[in-house]
Each structure stands twice: as structure tokens, then as C-alpha cells.
Amino acid sequence: MSYGPAPESANAANAFLEAHGRTFQLFIGGNWQPPASETYFESINPSTKQPLAKIAEGNAEDVDAAVAAAREVLPAWAGLGGHQRARYLYAIARQIQKHARLFSVLESMDNGKPIRETRDIDIPLVARHFYHHAGWAQLMDTELSAYKEIGVIGQIIPWNFPLLMLAWKIAPALAMGNTVVLKPAEYTSLTALLFAEICQNIGLPKGVLNVVTGAGATGAALVKHPNVQKIAFTGSTEVGRIIRRAIAGSGKKLSLELGGKSPFIVFEDADLDSVVEGVVDAIWFNQGQVCCAGSRLLVEESVSEVLYAKLKARMEQLIVGNPLDKCVDIGAIVDKVQVKTIDELVQKGIHEGYAAWQPTAICPSEGYYYPPTLFTNVSPAATIAQEEIFGPVLVAMPFRSHKEAVALANNTRYGLAASVWTEDINLALSIAPQIKAGSVWVNCTNMFDAASGFGGYRESGFGREGGREGLFEYIQPRMEATLSDKPFLPKIAAESKTAASKNGLPLPDIDRTAKMYIGGKQARPDGGYSMVIRSRSGTYIGEVAEGNRKDLRNAVEAAHANSAWSNMTGHARAQVLYYIAENLAVRRAEFARRLAQMGGQTMEDALLEVDTAIERIYTYAAYADKYDGRVHSTVLNHVTLAMPEAIGVLAIICPDESPLLGFVSTVIPAIAMGNSVVVVPSETAPLSATDFYQILDTSDVPGGTVNIVTGKKEELAPELARHDNVDGIWYFGTKEGSQKVEYLSSDNMKRSWVNYGKYRNWSDTVQGAGEIFLRHATQIKNIWIPYGV
Ligand code: NAI
Ligand code: MG
């Protein structure tokens, strides 16, 4: 049968635009307000190149007004309680459903995506997110009682899923009691403005949601604003990096959903016809302008040619054209700038010697279109295999073994998603854990649901959107408000400078320089330098090695070489942790003497710190096999396993105070979750840590699990923060040090957790222990598995 157009009417959308005189103001404090600059920019329909409307260009002054409005209403909104907020979110969800057609058409016109997708995917998911989070608002008091809202949230979203990205950000933020200033993408502001109108209509309290339209400069003003407590961003890795650096050290929280180059892995026993449909959804959904697009097709060599042939046949059937046509598969690219970027990368691929294949049917001559494109047998190092193209371009390459498939899949700086196709459940579930990505789809692709978290590993960013795990981006532990500006130091024993000797106890050796501990062995410092360690009252105690960059490199390498630890079960790791506790208990008095020697406290106080450390080890031994994931209830015929995975190699810069307890309270939860760590212990009192490796040595901890590099923390921390093979960093030190760590961590987008110069009481179980440490030691992978009939 030949194809006949079936266009959806644009009347309602045009009526909406006309009602606003095709000119949109800023939505601030519940009112429509002209921009301070009095300037407007045009939003076009990329399928016709015709302007749709004029949009206000917000500047720093407008952002300031919006933040002020959000701040003013914050106490009232947070104080409203979960149930009242649930009612508002529910009302928004209902309104979206009632206006679903208008939203779908408007989105298609503004963005160029096919109406089939906006109607069947984007808009229903938007409603789903508001319903789901109405539920979380309702349950917040009972499920998350140790947490509270963060405050005013600045949200910056891209143009590829304009309303959906809005929903992913606004629904959890409002549910958890925050207020929002949203900056839509400059190409696609219209549905956000329609959304604002809906919020106005349902009587959402003024200022809870503010929409400030504009381009990058408007976003940058929002990022910089001192009264914004958190930035949530989706967009390019480049801008994500700019934002990370801009707010480093400010104490603002940050979540980033960035780019990807996700693998779509096909094993020889896969159902190739399903695979072909999967590929269509993976890379031609939304013209390939999808951060988690399956843009790298990895296919087992034995079936590669068959699959390429099937794929080409299918590509011939794809209809490229008017986005409002219900039969169209591929619509227009959002803007001519993006068409140019896509084409430049395709030309680069051709220039590098790869053949591009495109179906014979041509794109409409009017509008910004790009044909579906396939590159086969591309080398993994090719530009087109490494760079995010963000268009309808698929890059395919063969693999010969399962091992090679995993290696190719992970051969990217990104880690957003992956698809695994095979009829062999054992194979699928052995590949899934080996892939470094936030979502892994088994025999499916591009699956999303409000109940499941979505977000990246590595340079694809951090934080999750959706699911219970996503809520933590919009709440903070109530405990955080109780942190101190000064470190908690033990009371110096009244009658003596060296309480330990006064007590008649022999002091530990002072004649040797404590070594570092790398790869399970004592290590001398590369530079050959050592540092004198003195008690708090100034008495010489001994010396420790002064580590440098080379020592850190060795330590990171040793941490990477150790796979034994991460491959152990939680139970097996728990056994080792209990063993550590047992060995520490045996040497309790010796460790207490060391603490008293360095800190000058009474033996009684020192013994208490050791006992608390032992208890803390028990805590994380207990958690090792209990901090587990969830099975999310998402879409029909699937279950979604949300599994916390170790971050990988974690750098830990310990607090100077509480030299034993601060070390144990950070290192033990990190390794309990399966990470290998490179630790810089207390700079002023490192000897408890250097004594501790004897305990590690006798407790069956695999070499390379804990690596200890002593030295000057403000020199070592930046090295670790910028190190490319460190996956995450925790820093407990000064405000300035925190700024540096956050700034430098943006090089490879490693996860960072810093204290901004705020101090914990490490002996307190609320401040010094708990799930928050485990959350920072893990990242959640969501694995979608077919399940049910
Ligand atoms: P972009 O990252 O520049 O834009 C995303 C959002 O950030 C927009 O709202 C923009 O106005 C805002 N923005 C830009 N500069 C900013 C700054 N300095 N401070 C604060 N906000 C700022 O993405 P763009 O230029 O639209 O697309 C370029 C490439 O980025 C695409 O080709 C694609 O590779 C990638 N991209 C990835 C997305 C994803 O979902 N991961 C979404 C959009 C683009
Ligand atoms: Mg537009």
C-alpha cells in the first residue's frame, strides 16, 4: 500500500500562540512579565523554518526577580506539607492529560519531532512523572523523614525533550518542597510556557514555579545566582563542565545529565528482526537527538552482514517528513546549527575512510532534515565512533568475543546507557554488570519510566532522575544543618602534655619513618622525603613519608589492578570487615595510646575513639550485604532492577581531626560497597592510619583495596581530583580545598563529595555514619529485564 499523509491539525496550537499575540513574556512570581532587556528572540518551526513566536530574553535582572519570588514562597511551599503538595502535582498531571493533544502538537511544531512520538511517548510520560511524584510528595513525611527540601532550585534543560525534561526536573523538585526557576532551551520554550500557564490556572502558589526564557547567558546567570541552592542541568558535557566549575566550592548542589555514546550490543543468537526494530527506536527515535541514543551498534561478526542488510532494508521504509504527519517516522532536526554539526561529523567519518549509507528516499526540501545514516565496520578509534553526533547517524562495528564486546562497549568516556540483545539470559545478565552505564536495557531500548532512575556514569554526569533514587537530588539530610564551623577536637588531658606516657604506658616506636601502603605492600615515597609529626602540644612523635604525584599514580594503579575485592559478595566483604574489627579490638590499647600521643587526650577518651571505630566497622560490615537495590515497578512486561554499584576507584582525603575514627568512618563504608580506595589520612596525625595497615595486612583484605599515601593533603587532593583514572573523590578539609576539588573533578566528571569546610562530629552516629556514606560510595544502575506475560 502506498503512503498517504495523515496530518494532525495545528489549529489548537496556533490558537494558543495567537492568544498570546505570538509573543511570550517571562513567568515570574505567578505573573507574565516583560524582560528587563526588552529584547525577544524567535522560536521557529524547524520543519518549515517559519517563526512560531517571539520569546522574552531574560537577563540577570530577570533571573534575580525570579529567584526572589521562588525564595519568598519557599517556606510556605515547604511548610504546606506533603499531602497539599501532592494535590497540586496531581492537578498538574490531570491538566497535562486534558491538554495532551495541544502539548503534543505544540512540541512537534517547536522541536520538529514526529507527532507520533510526542503523542505516544513524551506527553504521556510527562503526566506519568507528575502522578508518580504526587505520590512521593504524599509519602515524603513517612519515607524520608530524615530529609528536608534543598531550597530554590535552578533548572536548565535542553531542547531534545523539552516538556519531558521539564517534568523530570520540576516534578521531584516541587514534590520535595523546593521552589523552581526553570530556564528552557532557546529553541524550544513554548511547551514550558504553556506549562506555566497551566500552573497559573490551577492556582499553584505564585513563585513556586518561575520560567525565565533565554539562551546560554540566561542559564549562566541562574547558575551564578547566590540564592540558588542547587542546579539541575541536562545538556552537553561541555556546558555541564562549565557549570561544575562555575559553582565549585559554593556549596550549591548539582546534578548533571550529559551526553552519551551508548552501545547497542547484538550477540549472534539475538532475534535479528526484533533487533532491527530496536535499532530504529535506539537511533532514529527523535532524529537521534537523544542523550542515551544507541548510537554505536556492536554486532557479533558472524551475523554482522546479515544484520546490516536487514537494517538497510528497514531504513528504506523509514518515512522522513512533516512532524505533524501521523505516519512520519523521522521529523526535522531542531535547528540548522545542529544539521551542520551532524553533517560535519558525517563528512569527517567519510574523510576518515568510512562509507556512509543512506536510503534512497530523500528528505523534504523545505526544513531542517537529515536522512538516517549508517556507517558500517567503523574502527573504534574513529571520530564518529567516539564523538556524540546527536543526530540520526548509526555507527556499526563488529566484535568477535564476549570480552571484546564489553571492551568496545566501555571504550568511551561516557556511560549513560546500553542495550544488550541475546536470547541467552545467562549471557545478557553476565554482560549487564560489566557495562559502565546508568541504564542497561536487555532486549529492549530507550525505556523510561517515572519509577526508574535515569542518569549517567563517568562523563555522562551524575545524579539520577526518576525513581526513589532520583529524590535524593532534591532533598538534604536534616543533619547537615547541624554541622559545625570548627573541628571537634578531644579535650587535652589536664595534667600532662603526653597523657599516654603519664599513664605509664610505653610509647610506640619513634625511630622509624612510617611507610605508605600501596598494593598491599609498604612503600617508600618516590621523592624520598618525610614529614615530622608532632603531638598537639608540639612534642616530636615520629615521621611519615611525604607522598607525591608519582606515589598517587602508583596507588591509583594498584587500586585499579585489584578486582578481587569488587568481585566478592557483600557477605564475603562483611566477613573481612568483621575480621578488621576483631584485629583492631585485639590492639585496642595500642591504638588508643597512639591517639593519646598525637591528640593529648586521656586514655579513657582515646579508648572511646577506638571502641567507636570498632563499632563503626561493625556498622558497615552489617550494611555490606544489606545496602541493596530495589526492583522498580515500571512498564508492562518488564522489571527494572535498581542496583547500587561501586563507583570504582575512590579517592578519600580524610579529616585531620579524629585520626582513627575519621579514617575508619570514610574508608570502611567505601570499601564495604566494593570500591578500592586511595586514602590520604589525617595530615597532622597520620600515624593511626599508618598503624592501621598492619591490621589490613592481617585481615585478608586483598592488596590494592586500601592504598594509603601520607603527605600534604592540599597538595595531594588536587592531584587526585584531576586524576583521569579516579572515579570519585571525597574530601574533608577546608572551604578552599573543597572548591579546588570540585573544580578539578570536572576534568573527567568524577563524582565529588566535599565538606565546604564544615565539620562533623565523627563520634556521633548521625553525623559520622549512615546511609549517606553508602550513597556517596555507589551509583545506581537500572537494568531493564523482560518479565511477565
Ligand atoms: P547546550 O548544552 O548548550 O544547551 C543545553 C541548555 O544549557 C540550554 O538550555 C542552553 O541555553 C543552556 N546553556 C548553554 N550554555 C550555558 C551556560 N554557559 N550556562 C548555563 N546554561 C547554559 O546544548 P546545545 O548547544 O543546545 O547542543 C549542543 C550539543 O549538546 C548537541 O549536539 C548534543 O551533542 C549535546 N546535547 C545533549 C543533550 C542531552 O540530553 N544530553 C541535550 C542537548 C544537547
Ligand atoms: Mg523551535
**What average pLDDT score do residues 58-67 get?**
98
Dump pLDDT digits (tens) for 500-516. Answer: 454 444 455 555 789 99
Ligand 1, atom 30, residue with closest C-alpha: 236
User: For this structure, is 465 an active site residue?
Assistant: no
Q: Across-strand partners of 49? A: none
Does 779 have pLDDT greater than 90? yes
Spatial distance between the Cα atoms of 235 and 546, rounded to a whole number of angstroms: 41
Residues 706/677, Cβ–Cβ less than 8 Å: yes
Spatial distance between the Cα atoms of 307 and 508, rounded to a whole number of angstroms: 69
User: What pLDDT is stored for residue 4 in this prediction?
Assistant: 83
CA of 131 to the centre of ligand 1 (A): 28
Residues 243/254, Cβ–Cβ less than 8 Å: yes
Residue 19 neighbours by CB under 8 Å, 6+ apart = none
Spatial distance between the Cα atoms of 738 and 754, rounded to a whole number of angstroms: 6
Dump pLDDT digits (tens) for 256-291. Answer: 999 999 999 999 999 999 999 999 999 999 999 999
Ligand 1, atom 14, residue with closest C-alpha: 216
The residue to mutate among 57, 156, 393, having the most atoms of ligand 1 within 8 angstroms of its beta carbon, is 156
Does 719 have pLDDT greater than 90? yes
User: What pLDDT is stored for residue 166 in this prediction?
Assistant: 98
Best CA proximity match to 638, nearest among 438, 423, 422, 451: 451
CA of 19 to the centre of ligand 1 (A): 30
Spatial distance between the Cα atoms of 66 and 156, rounded to a whole number of angstroms: 14
Ligand 1, atom 21, residue with closest C-alpha: 219
User: What pLDDT is stored for residue 499 in this prediction?
Assistant: 47
Ligand 1, atom 43, residue with closest C-alpha: 235
CA of 748 to the centre of ligand 1 (A): 18
Which numbered atom of ligand 1 lies nearest the CA of 187?
26
CA of 243 to the centre of ligand 2 (A): 24
Alpha helices (runs of H) in 247-293, residue ranges in sequence order: 272-283
Spatial distance between the Cα atoms of 629 and 454, rounded to a whole number of angstroms: 14
Check 199, 291, 292, 654 and give the catalytic one. 291
pTM of the model: 0.97
Q: What percent of the chain has pLDDT over 70?
A: 98
Spatial distance between the Cα atoms of 543 and 531, rounded to a whole number of angstroms: 5
Nearest ligand to the CA atom of 54: 2
User: For this structure, is 257 an active site residue?
Assistant: yes
Pocket of ligand 1 (CB under 6 A): 156-160, 183, 185-186, 215-216, 219-220, 223, 234-236, 239, 242-243, 258-259, 291, 338, 341, 388, 390
285 by DSSP, 3-state: which? helix
User: What pLDDT is stored for residue 263 in this prediction?
Assistant: 98
The residue to mutate among 181, 224, 236, having the most atoms of ligand 1 within 8 angstroms of its beta carbon, is 236
Residues 395/311, Cβ–Cβ less than 8 Å: no
Which numbered atom of ligand 1 lies nearest the CA of 223?
20
Residues 333/438, Cβ–Cβ less than 8 Å: no
How are beta strands 649-653 and 728-731 bridged, if at all? parallel
Q: How far is CA 623 from CA 337, 577, 611, 730, 748, in A?
A: 50, 11, 19, 20, 30
Residue 228 neighbours by CB under 8 Å, 6+ apart = 67, 151, 152, 153, 154, 181, 222, 252
Nearest ligand to the CA atom of 108: 2
CA of 365 to the centre of ligand 2 (A): 18
CA of 237 to the centre of ligand 1 (A): 8
Out of 425-439, 507-521, 673-687, least confident range: 507-521
Nearest ligand to the CA atom of 160: 1
User: What pLDDT is stored for residue 494 in this prediction?
Assistant: 75
CA of 152 to the centre of ligand 2 (A): 28
Ligand 1, atom 12, residue with closest C-alpha: 216
Residues 644/453, Cβ–Cβ less than 8 Å: no
User: What pLDDT is stored for residue 781 in this prediction?
Assistant: 98
**What average pLDDT score do residues 753-775 get?**
97
